[in-house]
Amino acid sequence: MRLTSEYLGTVKMNNISHVVAGTVDTWEIIYTVGKYGIDDTGSLRLAWRNPSDWGMPQFNNPRERGYTSVKVNGNAKIEASLEMFERPFNQSMVIRVYDGFLVEGDTIIIAMGDTSQGSDGIKAQTFCEEKHEFRTFVDPYGSRRYQRLPNDIVFEIYSGEVNEIHIVAPSVYDDNRKNEFLIRGIDYYGNIAQDFEDTIYLKLISKDTGSVKELEPIKMTKKNKGLYRFTLPQKPGAGIYYIEGKTKNTKLSYLSNPIKIEETVNKLYFGDMHGQTAETVGTGSLERYFTFARDSAFIDFTGWQGNDFQVNDAKWNDVREATKKYHEPKEFITFLGYEWSGLTQNGGDNNVYFFGDNDTFYPNSNWLENPGSTNIKNNAATLSELLEKVKGRDDVMIIPHIGGRYGTLEYANPKYTPVIEIHSHHGTFEWFIFDAMKARKKVGFIGTSDDHTCRQGMSYPLSKDGKASSFDVTSGYTAVYAKDLTRESIWNSIKERHCYATTFNRMILETDIDGYHMGEEVQENVSRNMKVLVSSNSPIDTIELYNWDKKIEHINMREKDTKKIRIAWSGVRVRTRKKSTKWDGTIEILNGTILDAKEYAFDRRDQGIKEKTSNMIRWTSNTSGDYDGIILELDFNEDTELVFKSVQKDFSIKISEINENIKVIPAGGENLKIEVSLANKDCKDKQEFIDACNIQKIFTNMPTTKNGDAYWVRVLQEDGNMAWSSPIFIK
């Protein structure tokens, strides 16, 4: 076959010189037919990557967003439809030729976001990408066998204007490191705002004394590309501190994560060890992946975890080299690994990590790779086979993950599985914790991103123009207490469960029973009192104490406002792939008035309150285990009633029946529920706010079980972010 542009044809796209993430516009694609032509029933296919969240083209409603017109200049008719294609270019548009044929030089013109009849256009992908691709394939013969055109449409997607700033601080001062701080500008969709320019005024605030020290202002210019590192002029004394930043022109402000300064054996490091790149089902290069994690997300350690059925020996060697290249002891730690992506019944998704280099890997299969590209003798079709291949090794960890498939616990070997992953951009999966605790698995808890957008350590949800996305939440972190920032220390601390999981926050969380800390297994008699210390940059809402899977205590840490109520919903529909759950609905207030309404814990930018009147709120929402919700300020009396209607559940309740205790309304699914309670009072000033961010609680006389105990805590912040401590196990 002659698979050249001359015979297959050519394609070009206009308006791609400066595509800004999330903009709504029109993009015209022109395909010129080659010498083969396209016969009756032949077709053209335009494909783009999953997980790209380009607005979905539609062909029937010219006044609605996404309207896409397709015209032909030739002696034939055409019809367009959306069809799934081969991973990772799952999303595609097919234009079929009928009632005629096309000859060399004829054209097919695709106007994505045609505004000629009232549509406002189509939405561009919301995350930045250096080399975004539209691939074009043609089937001249109507054979259903497509050949890829030699010239792809490739262009860059840029960040938008700054929408917020972040200040990231070292959680615990480490005298063996630079102790740098990072200021970053963020656009509306969570990308680094590369054109951010402004002056940022900084203050160092002491939680313990309330003292405020002015720091040298930071001048951010375009040369900084949205990122600026700085250090403090001198190390402050012992205590908890924050950096507050305010911009001069854009009027943005931010309070950093807490900084703890104390003499301690173990320091606290934050990492994200799970993500993918264009080598598998993600975007971006290995270089951008590791440098983003290090320089933009500003995390301490990371790893790469591509789906094994898309990894061949050549890709594995590329990952090995990149892992070595970006590993820098005391500054940035990398781990070699991959995602063993077995079918659920064979073990499900499990992340495999190697302590050092490993010249081979053990894939579940080579399903999407060419025969011969990988030595099939290394295949492990079931988790049992994988465990057999690594038998006796102490340099391997196998960590179950909830993704498209969910990792199963029945095969979990304690030698290789010290922790389980309970949060990623796939969702928050507390049911996985309770499964492990009910089965009496001695595991700790970690969070990650499983990022697919080359934003490792700082992954944001994707928007689907009203369609459910599988990535409804922001990413999480693994927080590790370790002696120093070396591969050995981080590895050993995870193996020993000296770690905890967080969502998109860098909360400091400590648990202690008579000097024993999270993850430890205690072999002697100790008191049944546990001290919990929490520091964060959002007030602490609740702390819950558990022994294995049983809740022992639920404590509200904030004073409630009798004029405000919070309605929050959460959970997943099922454990399997289509877990994202739609909650679109309304709240109506009967015999009362809505004075104010605010969104609570929404992650997705395309969702939230869509309509508000004096007695009704309408919203769109999807959850994947996380919370979404509404906080209402009301004028009400004894007869005032709240009527909740959503896709998942309808109910009504008298406002007079709502108090500080959470009323839970089950809604089926895996753990779908609605929680109703009074909302928290607003803090009256900055000092009260910071005090509410720092909590010490001692649980006393904790109940025991016959065959040992596992005490852990769940912490919920006022902004909806969460953390889960790994248990302290007592025999």
502 vs 585: CA distance, rounded Å = 29
- The pair of structure tokens assigned to 99 is 């009632």
Same domain for 399 and 455? yes
Q: What is the pLDDT of residue 192?
A: 98
Same domain for 140 and 219? no
Q: Which of 521, 613, 535, 603 is nearest to 570 (CA)?
A: 603
The identity of residue 55, as a single letter, is G
Let me know if residue 64 belongs to a domain: yes
C-alpha atoms less than 13 angstroms from C-alpha of 316 in its C-beta half-sphere: 24
Let me know if residue 106 belongs to a domain: yes
Q: What is the pLDDT of residue 466?
A: 44
Let me know if residue 541 belongs to a domain: no
For the chain, how far is it from start to end, CA to CA, in angstroms? 70
- The pair of structure tokens assigned to 640 is 């005032």
Contact 692, 540 (CB under 8 A): yes
Give the domain-ending residue among 466, 481, 504. Answer: 504
- The pair of structure tokens assigned to 517 is 């800390």
* DSSP conformational letter for 615: S
DSSP for 87-114 reads: TTS-EEEEEEEESS-B-TT-EEEEEET-
- The pair of structure tokens assigned to 243 is 């950096």
Contact 171, 270 (CB under 8 A): yes
Same domain for 221 and 84? no
Contact 281, 318 (CB under 8 A): no
Let me know if residue 548 belongs to a domain: no
- Residues sharing a CB contact under 8 Å with residue 364, sequence separation 6 or more, in sequence order: 308, 309, 340, 341, 342, 343, 346, 379, 380, 381, 386
Q: What is the pLDDT of residue 169?
A: 97
Contact 619, 609 (CB under 8 A): yes
Range of the domain at 200: 162-261
Let me know if residue 625 belongs to a domain: yes
| 309-349 confidence digits (pLDDT tens) | 999 999 999 999 999 999 999 999 999 999 999 999 999 99
Let me know if residue 13 belongs to a domain: yes
What does the buried/exposed string (b/e) look like for 503-520 if buried means 16 or more CB atoms within 10 Å of the residue's CB?
bbbbbbbbbbbeebbbbb
CATH code: domain of residue 240: 2.60.40.10
Q: Across the beta sheet with 694-699, what order do the strands follow?
A: 516-517, 508-513, 530-535, 694-699
549 vs 31: CA distance, rounded Å = 59
| Rg of the chain on CA atoms, in Å | 27
Same domain for 180 and 237? yes
247 vs 575: CA distance, rounded Å = 44
310 vs 314: CA distance, rounded Å = 11
619 vs 609: CA distance, rounded Å = 4
Give the domain-ending residue among 466, 483, 504. Answer: 504
Q: What is the pLDDT of residue 467?
A: 54
Q: What is the pLDDT of residue 197?
A: 98
CATH code: domain of residue 13: 2.60.40
Same domain for 288 and 425? yes
CATH code: domain of residue 408: 3.20.20.140
In the predicted model, residues of the chain with pLDDT beneath 50 are 466, 468
Give the domain-ending residue among 504, 529, 559. Answer: 504
Let me know if residue 722 belongs to a domain: no
Same domain for 235 and 384? no
Same domain for 399 and 302? yes
Same domain for 286 and 351? yes
- The pair of structure tokens assigned to 191 is 């990308």
Same domain for 281 and 247? no
469 vs 582: CA distance, rounded Å = 10
Same domain for 48 and 184? no
Same domain for 152 and 34? yes
Contact 158, 194 (CB under 8 A): yes
Same domain for 601 and 662? yes
Per the structure, how many domains does the chain have?
A: 4
* DSSP conformational letter for 144: S
Let me know if residue 132 belongs to a domain: yes
Burial degree of 197 (CB within 10 A; 0-12, 13-18, 19+): middle
- The pair of structure tokens assigned to 160 is 């938008």
